[in-house]
A and B are shown apart, each in its own frame.
Chain A
Amino acid sequence: MTVGELLSGNDYIVISKGKEATITGVYCCDLLSIAMSHMESGMAWVTVMANRNTLAVAQLADAGCVILAEGVTLDEESVRKAQEENITVLASEKPIFETALAIYEKL
Protein backbone atom coordinates (compact mmCIF):
# COMPACT_ATOMS: atom_id res chain seq x y z
CA MET A 1 0.00 0.00 0.00
CA THR A 2 1.21 3.50 -0.78
CA VAL A 3 0.76 6.66 1.24
CA GLY A 4 -1.58 7.90 -1.50
CA GLU A 5 -3.75 4.79 -1.16
CA LEU A 6 -3.85 5.30 2.60
CA LEU A 7 -5.07 8.87 2.09
CA SER A 8 -7.75 7.85 -0.41
CA GLY A 9 -9.76 6.17 2.34
CA ASN A 10 -10.49 9.56 3.96
CA ASP A 11 -9.93 8.00 7.37
CA TYR A 12 -7.49 10.64 8.52
CA ILE A 13 -7.07 14.37 8.81
CA VAL A 14 -4.22 15.34 6.47
CA ILE A 15 -1.87 17.67 8.33
CA SER A 16 0.93 17.56 5.78
CA LYS A 17 1.10 15.80 2.43
CA GLY A 18 4.64 14.77 1.64
CA LYS A 19 6.48 12.37 -0.59
CA GLU A 20 4.80 9.31 -2.05
CA ALA A 21 6.12 6.11 -0.53
CA THR A 22 5.25 2.46 -0.19
CA ILE A 23 4.22 1.67 3.35
CA THR A 24 6.25 -1.32 4.44
CA GLY A 25 4.71 -1.87 7.86
CA VAL A 26 3.42 -0.16 10.98
CA TYR A 27 5.44 0.95 13.99
CA CYS A 28 4.17 2.28 17.31
CA CYS A 29 6.33 4.06 19.88
CA ASP A 30 6.51 7.45 21.58
CA LEU A 31 10.10 7.35 22.76
CA LEU A 32 12.16 8.91 19.99
CA SER A 33 15.44 7.03 20.43
CA ILE A 34 13.68 3.68 20.44
CA ALA A 35 11.55 4.60 17.44
CA MET A 36 14.55 5.79 15.46
CA SER A 37 16.50 2.66 16.25
CA HIS A 38 13.79 0.10 15.56
CA MET A 39 11.51 1.63 12.96
CA GLU A 40 12.30 0.38 9.48
CA SER A 41 12.38 2.50 6.36
CA GLY A 42 8.93 3.08 4.88
CA MET A 43 6.94 2.22 7.99
CA ALA A 44 3.86 4.17 9.03
CA TRP A 45 4.77 5.53 12.46
CA VAL A 46 1.86 5.84 14.87
CA THR A 47 2.54 8.03 17.89
CA VAL A 48 1.09 10.66 20.19
CA MET A 49 4.41 12.49 20.41
CA ALA A 50 3.71 15.50 18.20
CA ASN A 51 6.56 17.98 17.98
CA ARG A 52 9.46 19.06 15.76
CA ASN A 53 11.60 16.23 17.11
CA THR A 54 9.05 13.68 15.91
CA LEU A 55 9.54 15.10 12.43
CA ALA A 56 13.33 14.97 12.74
CA VAL A 57 13.19 11.31 13.70
CA ALA A 58 10.70 10.54 10.91
CA GLN A 59 13.04 12.15 8.40
CA LEU A 60 16.18 10.50 9.76
CA ALA A 61 14.57 7.06 9.95
CA ASP A 62 12.85 7.39 6.55
CA ALA A 63 9.38 6.78 7.95
CA GLY A 64 6.78 6.29 5.22
CA CYS A 65 4.47 8.67 7.09
CA VAL A 66 3.62 9.81 10.60
CA ILE A 67 0.16 9.22 12.02
CA LEU A 68 -0.74 11.13 15.17
CA ALA A 69 -3.28 9.19 17.20
CA GLU A 70 -5.70 10.16 19.97
CA GLY A 71 -6.53 13.47 18.29
CA VAL A 72 -3.16 15.10 18.91
CA THR A 73 -1.88 17.52 16.30
CA LEU A 74 1.12 19.64 15.35
CA ASP A 75 1.60 23.35 15.98
CA GLU A 76 1.70 25.64 12.91
CA GLU A 77 5.47 25.91 12.83
CA SER A 78 5.82 22.15 12.90
CA VAL A 79 3.29 21.80 10.09
CA ARG A 80 5.43 24.13 7.98
CA LYS A 81 8.50 22.06 8.86
CA ALA A 82 6.75 18.85 7.84
CA GLN A 83 5.82 20.42 4.49
CA GLU A 84 9.37 21.70 3.96
CA GLU A 85 10.76 18.25 4.70
CA ASN A 86 8.16 16.55 2.52
CA ILE A 87 6.87 14.40 5.38
CA THR A 88 3.29 13.12 5.30
CA VAL A 89 1.64 13.67 8.66
CA LEU A 90 -1.88 12.41 9.31
CA ALA A 91 -4.08 12.59 12.38
CA SER A 92 -6.62 10.17 13.80
CA GLU A 93 -9.02 10.49 16.70
CA LYS A 94 -8.60 6.80 17.46
CA PRO A 95 -6.18 5.30 20.00
CA ILE A 96 -2.74 4.13 18.88
CA PHE A 97 -3.65 0.44 18.75
CA GLU A 98 -6.79 0.93 16.68
CA THR A 99 -5.01 3.33 14.35
CA ALA A 100 -2.14 0.93 13.81
CA LEU A 101 -4.41 -2.09 13.42
CA ALA A 102 -6.47 -0.37 10.72
CA ILE A 103 -3.32 0.25 8.68
CA TYR A 104 -1.97 -3.23 9.31
CA GLU A 105 -5.18 -4.76 7.99
CA LYS A 106 -4.79 -2.81 4.75
CA LEU A 107 -1.20 -3.88 4.07
Chain B
Amino acid sequence: MTGKIHLNYVIPGDDFTRAGEASGEVKKKLKQMGVSPEAVRKVAISMYEGEINMVIHANGGTIDVDISTTDITIVLKDNGPGIKDVALAMQAGYSTAPDKVRALGFGAGMGLPNMKKYSDNLIIDTKLGYGTTVTIVVKIG
Protein backbone atom coordinates (compact mmCIF):
# COMPACT_ATOMS: atom_id res chain seq x y z
CA MET B 1 0.00 0.00 0.00
CA THR B 2 1.30 3.45 -0.88
CA GLY B 3 0.16 6.78 0.49
CA LYS B 4 -2.71 7.46 2.83
CA ILE B 5 -6.36 6.64 2.41
CA HIS B 6 -8.95 8.96 3.91
CA LEU B 7 -12.57 8.03 4.54
CA ASN B 8 -15.32 10.26 5.92
CA TYR B 9 -18.74 9.38 7.25
CA VAL B 10 -21.67 11.43 8.50
CA ILE B 11 -23.50 9.52 11.22
CA PRO B 12 -27.19 10.33 11.72
CA GLY B 13 -28.43 10.57 15.28
CA ASP B 14 -30.96 8.22 16.84
CA ASP B 15 -31.13 5.96 13.77
CA PHE B 16 -30.41 2.48 15.01
CA THR B 17 -31.24 0.85 11.70
CA ARG B 18 -28.14 2.40 10.14
CA ALA B 19 -25.89 2.37 13.19
CA GLY B 20 -22.76 0.39 12.45
CA GLU B 21 -22.80 0.84 8.67
CA ALA B 22 -19.71 3.04 8.67
CA SER B 23 -17.79 0.57 10.84
CA GLY B 24 -18.88 -2.26 8.58
CA GLU B 25 -17.66 -0.43 5.49
CA VAL B 26 -14.29 0.33 7.06
CA LYS B 27 -13.92 -3.28 8.12
CA LYS B 28 -14.59 -4.50 4.58
CA LYS B 29 -12.14 -1.97 3.17
CA LEU B 30 -9.39 -3.05 5.57
CA LYS B 31 -9.96 -6.72 4.76
CA GLN B 32 -9.74 -5.97 1.04
CA MET B 33 -6.47 -4.15 1.68
CA GLY B 34 -5.03 -7.19 3.39
CA VAL B 35 -4.71 -5.62 6.86
CA SER B 36 -4.11 -8.27 9.54
CA PRO B 37 -7.24 -9.85 11.05
CA GLU B 38 -6.17 -8.70 14.51
CA ALA B 39 -5.95 -5.04 13.45
CA VAL B 40 -9.23 -5.32 11.52
CA ARG B 41 -10.96 -6.70 14.60
CA LYS B 42 -9.59 -3.91 16.80
CA VAL B 43 -10.77 -1.24 14.36
CA ALA B 44 -14.18 -2.89 13.88
CA ILE B 45 -14.90 -3.09 17.60
CA SER B 46 -13.50 0.26 18.71
CA MET B 47 -15.04 2.19 15.80
CA TYR B 48 -18.43 0.50 16.20
CA GLU B 49 -18.55 1.41 19.88
CA GLY B 50 -17.73 5.03 19.04
CA GLU B 51 -20.29 5.10 16.26
CA ILE B 52 -22.98 3.68 18.53
CA ASN B 53 -22.14 6.17 21.29
CA MET B 54 -22.64 8.99 18.78
CA VAL B 55 -26.03 7.66 17.78
CA ILE B 56 -27.17 7.05 21.36
CA HIS B 57 -25.81 10.08 23.15
CA ALA B 58 -24.89 12.84 20.71
CA ASN B 59 -27.46 12.97 17.89
CA GLY B 60 -24.85 11.71 15.44
CA GLY B 61 -21.63 13.28 14.24
CA THR B 62 -18.79 12.68 11.82
CA ILE B 63 -16.11 10.03 11.56
CA ASP B 64 -12.81 10.48 9.74
CA VAL B 65 -10.63 7.45 9.11
CA ASP B 66 -7.03 7.71 7.94
CA ILE B 67 -5.25 4.56 6.89
CA SER B 68 -1.48 4.66 6.50
CA THR B 69 1.13 1.95 6.18
CA THR B 70 1.74 1.99 9.93
CA ASP B 71 -1.59 2.75 11.58
CA ILE B 72 -5.28 3.52 11.31
CA THR B 73 -6.53 6.70 12.94
CA ILE B 74 -10.25 7.15 13.59
CA VAL B 75 -11.56 10.54 14.71
CA LEU B 76 -15.17 10.61 15.93
CA LYS B 77 -16.50 14.11 16.41
CA ASP B 78 -19.90 15.12 17.74
CA ASN B 79 -21.69 18.20 19.03
CA GLY B 80 -23.52 16.33 21.74
CA PRO B 81 -23.77 17.09 25.45
CA GLY B 82 -20.23 15.99 26.30
CA ILE B 83 -19.18 13.44 28.92
CA LYS B 84 -19.64 14.66 32.48
CA ASP B 85 -17.21 12.28 34.16
CA VAL B 86 -14.81 10.52 31.78
CA ALA B 87 -13.23 8.37 34.50
CA LEU B 88 -16.66 7.07 35.50
CA ALA B 89 -17.64 6.50 31.86
CA MET B 90 -14.49 4.43 31.40
CA GLN B 91 -15.58 2.02 34.13
CA ALA B 92 -16.93 -1.27 32.78
CA GLY B 93 -20.65 -1.54 33.48
CA TYR B 94 -21.34 2.18 33.87
CA SER B 95 -23.98 3.35 31.40
CA THR B 96 -26.33 6.28 30.92
CA ALA B 97 -28.11 4.67 27.95
CA PRO B 98 -31.90 5.11 28.07
CA ASP B 99 -34.24 2.12 28.37
CA LYS B 100 -35.30 2.18 24.70
CA VAL B 101 -31.65 1.67 23.74
CA ARG B 102 -31.11 -1.07 26.30
CA ALA B 103 -34.02 -2.93 24.76
CA LEU B 104 -31.98 -3.16 21.55
CA GLY B 105 -29.07 -4.83 23.32
CA PHE B 106 -26.99 -1.76 24.07
CA GLY B 107 -26.23 -0.17 27.42
CA ALA B 108 -23.91 -2.83 28.83
CA GLY B 109 -21.53 -0.09 29.91
CA MET B 110 -18.77 -1.54 27.74
CA GLY B 111 -18.55 1.14 25.05
CA LEU B 112 -15.58 3.16 26.23
CA PRO B 113 -13.89 0.17 27.94
CA ASN B 114 -14.05 -1.72 24.63
CA MET B 115 -12.66 1.29 22.78
CA LYS B 116 -9.76 1.36 25.23
CA LYS B 117 -9.21 -2.41 25.07
CA TYR B 118 -9.29 -2.60 21.29
CA SER B 119 -7.13 0.42 20.44
CA ASP B 120 -3.44 1.18 20.77
CA ASN B 121 -4.16 4.78 21.71
CA LEU B 122 -7.41 6.40 22.82
CA ILE B 123 -7.81 10.14 23.35
CA ILE B 124 -11.10 11.61 24.62
CA ASP B 125 -11.52 15.37 24.33
CA THR B 126 -14.86 16.42 25.77
CA LYS B 127 -16.49 19.60 26.97
CA LEU B 128 -19.90 19.73 28.59
CA GLY B 129 -22.42 21.45 26.36
CA TYR B 130 -20.10 21.48 23.34
CA GLY B 131 -19.38 17.92 22.32
CA THR B 132 -16.82 15.17 22.27
CA THR B 133 -13.97 14.21 19.97
CA VAL B 134 -12.63 10.70 20.35
CA THR B 135 -9.42 9.70 18.59
CA ILE B 136 -8.62 6.01 18.24
CA VAL B 137 -5.34 4.73 16.85
CA VAL B 138 -4.80 1.12 15.87
CA LYS B 139 -1.33 0.07 14.74
CA ILE B 140 -0.95 -2.14 11.70
CA GLY B 141 1.36 -5.11 11.84
Contact = CB atoms under 8 A, between A and B. Distances in A.
Contact of B23 (A33, A41, A54, A56): A56
B112 to A, nearest CB: 10
B44 A51 contact: no
Contacts of B37: 41
Nearest to A55: B20
B20 to A, nearest CB: 3
Contacts of B141: none
A33 B106 contact: yes
Contact of A37 (B17, B20, B104, B114): B114
A30 B117 CA distance: 20
The interface residues of chain A, by DSSP majority, are classed as helix
Contact of A56 (B19, B107, B109): B19
A33 B106 CA distance: 7
A56 B48 contact: yes
Contacts of A62: 41
A106 to B, nearest CB: 26
A2 interface: no
B110 interface: yes
Q: How large is the interface on B (under 10, 10 to 19, 20 to 34, 35 or more residues)?
A: 20 to 34
Contacts of B41: 41, 61-62
A17 interface: no
B106 A32 contact: yes
Given A41-B37, A53-B19, A54-B105, A33 B111 contact: yes
A31 interface: yes
B126 to A, nearest CB: 20
A31 B41 CA distance: 18
Contact of A51 (B45, B104, B114): B104
Interface of B: 16-17, 19-21, 23-24, 27, 37, 41, 44-45, 48-49, 104-111, 114, 117-118
21 contacts: A31-B105, A31-B110, A32-B108, A33-B49, A33-B111, A33-B114, A36-B45, A36-B48, A36-B114, A37-B45, A51-B104, A52-B17, A52-B20, A53-B20, A53-B104, A53-B106, A56-B23, A56-B24, A60-B44, A60-B48, A85-B24
Interface of A: 30-34, 36-37, 41, 49, 51-54, 56-57, 59-62, 77, 85
